[in-house]
Amino acid sequence: MRKWIVTLMVGMLLAGSTLTAPAMNENRGGLMGFIAGCCFGMRAGAAYNDGKEIHWREWISLIIPIIPPVWAGIDGANGMTTAEYVKKYGSTFF
């Protein structure tokens, strides 16, 4: 019974995500915007809706959950800024 209720709630949540307000970019939002926000956090979801792509290091974090966050932490400890990420990976991601 409990699993059934949880499954129903998750289904309702996923179904409701397609009925959200449109994003600034007409080609963004919807299910992919939901996945970006749910799996990668609020900043990644908002950046995706602004037209940015999800970086490959974030996708890897779904498969291997410890390495990319540690890598990002090391970059943060070394003082990496968004401008440096833009130079390194391009403005499509940052």
Q: Are residues 83 and 68 in the same domain?
A: yes
For residues 40 and 78, state if they share a domain: no
Q: Are residues 47 and 2 in the same domain?
A: yes
Judge if 41 and 72 occupy the same domain.
no
Query: Can you give the residue range of the structural domain that contains 75?
Result: 55-94
Query: Are 46 and 9 contained in the same domain?
Result: yes
Binning the chain into helix, strand and coil, the percentages to the nearest 5 are 65, 0, 35
- pTM of the entire predicted model: 0.61
Q: Identify the H or E element spanning 25.
A: none
Helix axes 67-77, 56-63, angle to 10 degrees: 140
pLDDT of residue 74 exceeding 90: yes
Whether residue 12 is predicted with pLDDT greater than 80 in this model: the reply is no
Do 6 and 47 share a structural domain?
yes
Half-sphere exposure of 23 (CA within 13 A, CB side): 21
Which residue has 């409701």 as its token pair? Answer: 16
Residues 40 and 76 in one domain: no
* Same domain for 93 and 79: yes
- What does the pLDDT read at residue 75? 92
Q: Model confidence over 15-72: pLDDT tens digits? A: 665 555 554 567 788 888 998 999 998 889 999 998 899 989 889 988 998 988 899 9
Q: How many domains does the chain have?
A: 2
The predicted pLDDT at position 17 comes to 57
